[in-house]
Structure 1
Amino acid sequence: MIIYLKLLVTMVLWGGTFIAGRLVVQDMGAFAAAFCRFAIASLALLTLTYTIEGHLPQPPRKLWLPIALLGLTGIFAYNVFFFSGLQTVEAGRAALIIALNPVAIALGAALFFKDPLSRTKLLGIGLSLLGAAVVISDGDPVRLLRGDVGIGELFMLGCVVSWMGYSLLGKVVMAELSPFVTTTYACLVGALMLLGPALAEGLVGAIREAIRPGIAAAAPTTWGGLLYLGILGSAVGFTWYYDGLKQLGPARAGVFINLVPVFAIALAALFLQETPTSSLVLGGSLVIAGVVITNR
């Protein structure tokens, strides 16, 4: 019972990352926000890794490149797209677009690992893509045919592609390292990759007048959002989810992922006063139904 409660709370925490991210990008650029999130997450994950694993295993040299690519795709690219998209896209809509992740992973596995796509999976993929089209176009899919898609929605689709790459690369690395250690290394590498662009964006603007003020002017709400994203949304969320994977297996634990956009929409309505539209409800229902069918 406790593990089910942990997974449920994890989904609430992950739903809340969209609200926290939406608040953070009001005061901070995408690179600076992403760096701060994973600098905090890396410190927390290192502490948890030494607590849980006893030490941080050194990866073999052959895994250095795959780990670097994990940091590039799942941490650097995903979070730059994430924070950039949330500058213009409402938290609830963003969560439903990113709910396409399992569908993208299934397509990527079929393309790169030759995993079979059954008729059931194809049906689920089709439903999810139709639902995403409704969400992205705000109920008018014809807009997509005209190329009338906002830059924020494109950034969110970039999140989906980035996470697909991260997940597929993770199969290679996690053949030799535990998921928790793999995530720790990915966060460390990704944070280092984000440091340079974050500095250029104004991370230490109060020190050098040539760099525009950024983080120095951040409001207390922004710092609270960053701590939430780094500690609760990343370190605690990953720890509890991997605990669920270990105890229940990927199939039973993975079902909980479908709750993330539901909680994101509910929390966005509560804290950001975002009113769900009929197209959001319809499209979101299709996306979630498609993901459930795809994962069967």
Structure 2
Amino acid sequence: MNRESNLFVYLMLVGTMALWGGTWISGKMLAGSMGPLSASFLRFLSAAVFLVISAWMQEGKVPRLPLKFVPHTAFLGLTGVFMYSWFFFKGLESIPAGRAALIVACIPVCVASVSAMVFKERFGPLRVLGTLISLFGVSMVLSEGDPLSLLSHGVAAGDLLILGCVVAWTGYSIGGRIAMRHLDPARAVTWSCVLGALFLLGPALNAGLVDDVLRSSFGDWLNILYLGVIATGVSYAWYYRGIRAIGPSRAAIFINLVPVFAIIFAQILLGETVGLAVLGGGAMVITGVYMTNRFAR
């Protein structure tokens, strides 16, 4: 790959991270307008429709999902769509978008740690150190600079919900690695969105989906389309193009930019401010993530 095409891939990946950083601001806006189950269902319904139409236009048909792989994909829909999105919108009801993005930044470390246990990956001293630094950074963010206070006061409900995002996406990533042995990424993402939206439909209806839709504003629908079409359908395609071009390890490093963009956008669009202690904790999270990925074998 020449320098010019390399530059295009890097710009595409930076653009993807900016879109993902924007999900926290869009999600925060939407969390104030409708319930978390309604917002989750509408987001992934729009993503599923977009992905199915895109596949139809590119391949002339809807990508088939063999029956024997339905359990794999259903697990992805349950963890990466149903659970993650509910925790995402519910948590954003009560905590700032920038703070939430810094907590979720520890996902790569959690995925690496669980992968080491499940897949028996080598986890040397430097990766252990990176994990500890990242987790200590999370404690700094949760406690706003006083980790010992977590022992006496515990973790706030909104922070616990965002930590649920970490658990859900870790499960999705581990399940995705197993599913990718049999399915291509585009097929897995498309069907996990379809099944995840189906999982969300019943609970969303029970929680007032129809009322939320009837009273939703034009701005709400713009946020739904951004989250579903742009930040899921388009950005996933860009990310996988980046993986094909420069490899998964190099592409994954760009994910460290997501909380940076989230904090910048939150300050500009939502007027949020982040304290130095929280920023310091976020820097530790990102440093730990970099070390964990950098010294992977």
1-structure distance, mates of 2:58, 2:187: 10
What is the Cα-based RMSD across aligned positions, in Å? Answer: 1.2
Q: Which stretch of structure 1 is more off in the superposition, 51-60 or 285-294?
A: 51-60
Alpha-carbon deviations, 1:244-272, whole Å to 9, x = none?
11111101111110000000000000000
Confirm or deny: 8 A CA contact 1:22 1:87 kept in the other structure: yes
CA drift at 1:224: 1.3
Q: Which position in structure 1 is the counterpart of 2:146?
A: 140
What secondary structure, in the 3-state scheme, does the structure 2 residue paired with 1:11 have? helix
Cα shift at 1:164: 0.6
| Superposed counterparts of 1:43-192, under 5 Å | 43-192=49-198
Q: Distance in 1 between matches of 2:288 and 2:59?
A: 37
1:176 and 1:57 map into 2 onto residues whose CA distance is 14
- Structure 2 residue aligned with 1:243: 241
CA distance in 1, matches of 2:174, 2:56: 26
Distance 1:54 1:125, change over 3 A: farther
Shift of 1:177: 1.4
Q: How far apart are residue 42 of structure 1 and its match?
A: 0.5
Match of 1:12 among 18, 21, 38: 18
Given that 1:125 and 1:291 are in contact with CA atoms closer than 8 Å, whether structure 2 keeps it comes out as yes
Q: Is the 8 A contact 2:106 2:289 kept in 1?
A: yes
Report which of the two has the higher share of helix.
Answer: 2
- The code of the aligned residue for 2:54 comes to L
Post-superposition Cα deviations, 1:226-283, rounded to whole Å, max 9, x if no partner, equal: 1110111110110100111111110111111000000000000000001121112100
Residue 261 (1) aligns with residue 271 (2): no
Distance 1:130 1:145 in 2: 14
Q: CA deviation at 1:61?
A: 2.7
- Distance in 1 (alpha carbons) for counterparts of 2:54 and 2:260: 29
Separation in structure 2 between the aligned mates of residue 254 and residue 64 of structure 1, nearest angstrom: 27
Structure 2 match to 1:290? 288
Q: In 1, distance between residues paired with 2:58 and 2:257?
A: 27
Describe the SS at the equivalent of 1:204: helix
Letter in 1 for 2:218: P
Give the distance between the partners of 2:289 and 2:119, measured in 1 at CA: 20
Deviations 1:33-76 (A, max 9, x none): 00000000111111222334554432333211111111000000
Of residues 72-81 and 167-176 in structure 1, the stretch that sits farther from structure 2 once superposed is: 167-176
What's the counterpart of residue 281 of structure 1?
Answer: 279
- Kindly, what percent of the aligned residue pairs are identical? 45
Give how far 1:147 is off: 4.4
For the 8 Å contact 1:143–1:149, the answer to whether it is kept is: no
Q: Tell me which amino acid in the other structure corresponds to 2:52.
A: L
Q: Which residue in 2 is equivalent to 1:211?
A: none
Paired letter, 2:234: V
Please state whether the residue corresponding to 2:187 is helix, strand or coil: helix
Kept after mapping to 1: 8 A contact 2:55/2:63: no
Q: 1:7 touches 1:241 (CA, 8 Å); kept in 2?
A: yes
Distance 1:2 1:123 in 2: 34
Spell out, residue by residue over 1:195-254, the C-alpha distance to the aligned partner (whole angstroms, 9 max, x if none): 01110111113xxxxxxxx23212322221111101111101101001111111101111
Matches of 2:26 and 2:37 in 1, distance apart?
A: 16
Q: Measure, in 2, the Cα distance between the counterparts of 1:49 and 1:254.
A: 25
Structure 2: gaps of 5 or more residues: 1-6
Q: Number of aligned pairs?
A: 288
Q: TM-score, normalised by structure 1?
A: 0.94
What amino acid maps onto 2:28 in structure 1? Answer: R
CA contact 1:56–1:181 (8 Å) conserved in 2: no
In structure 2, C-alpha distance between the alignment counterparts of 1:144 and 1:195, rounded to whole Å: 36
